[in-house]
Amino acid sequence: APARRPREPPVPPAGSAPGPARPGTKRLPQAIVVGVKKGGTRAVLEFIRVHPDVRALGTEPHFFDRNYDRGLEWYRSLMPRTLDSQITVEKTPSYFVTKEAPRRIFNMSRETKLIVVVRNPVTRAISDYTQTLSKKPDIPTFEGLSFRNRSLGLVDTSWNAIRIGMYAVHLESWLQYFPLSQIHFVSGEKLITDPAGEMGKVQDFLGIKRVITDKHFYFNKTKGFPCLKKSESSSLPRCLGKSKGRTHVQIDPEVIEQLRDFYRPYNIKFYETVGQDFRWE
């Protein structure tokens, strides 16, 4: 009888070689932190990834706004590996104001859970401006960028820093595709004053056990932010990076008053739509 050929070793599944086999599978995210810029999205991501049932992508993939043409397989390839019991989360705050994002996410999965971290739109705008100023010191003043005509109180809604805070307007696009029950709003203010309470609600929304509690946080007086006693990967305390907690530019109180007046109707509409009063007035 002819000698039997030795059995071929099984071909490893695509994406698993080379290197040591890590358990789990790369999955498309079941939950996405879709907004808003300067609202507290990084804090939510860093806090939620402490949970053993959550794996999060550390960087912002910008798939549904800038990289959509690369396709879902490219997007999936960026994701951390998860076990069946774990959920995959990513955050890209610019999705909230991207016209195509709701439809694109819906087309990936209509079940996707969406998290939106919101914050007083006036302070959010000042924070946004402060961040831009740190990168481009020659930009015009905050006042100059905020108004088309200041004496008439005409706000320039084309300036991104102003536009992002018109939450009620952006939310309408999302509600064309997703029910409110699939969108969870985190208060950026409460995230600082009561991180455990806000993260408790996030865990409930994600359908995972309330593992992250008061015991996980301490308040760092220098930064003015809550920090984690232990991070996901080490037993050392973990505060958000140097770029967080910048001192805001001083703005003329009258300008702040005009912007509060501008945002008020949008805020009220937002509270009514989501059934939650964020007390920004």
Q: Are 229 and 218 in contact (CB under 8 A)?
A: yes
Q: Are 128 and 164 in contact (CB under 8 A)?
A: yes
The structure tokens listed for 203 are 């865990």
From 37, 38, 91, 113, the catalytic residue: 38
Q: Is 190 annotated as a binding residue?
A: no
Active site residue 135: no
Partners of 148 in the β-ladder? none
* pTM of the shown model: 0.90
Closest CA to 60 of 29, 85, 103, 82: 29
| Fold for the domain defined by 25-121+161-244 | Rossmann fold (3.40.50)
128 residue type, one letter: D
Q: Is 124 annotated as a binding residue?
A: no
Partners of 184 in the β-ladder? 115
Q: Is 112 annotated as a binding residue?
A: no
Q: From CA 117, how far away is CA 98, in angstroms rounded?
A: 16
Number of neighbours of residue 206 by Cβ within 10 angstroms? 19
Q: What is the pLDDT of residue 241?
A: 85
Q: What is the mean pLDDT of each run of 10 residues along the chain (281 residues)?
A: 50 49 91 98 97 98 98 98 98 98 98 98 98 97 97 96 98 98 98 97 98 95 89 81 87 97 98 98 84
Q: What is the pLDDT of residue 9?
A: 46
H or E element, residue 169: helix 167-175
Q: Provide the residue ranges of all domains of the chain, joining segments of one domain with +.
A: 25-121+161-244
Q: What is the pLDDT of residue 15?
A: 46
Q: Is 184 annotated as a binding residue?
A: no
Q: Is 244 annotated as a binding residue?
A: yes
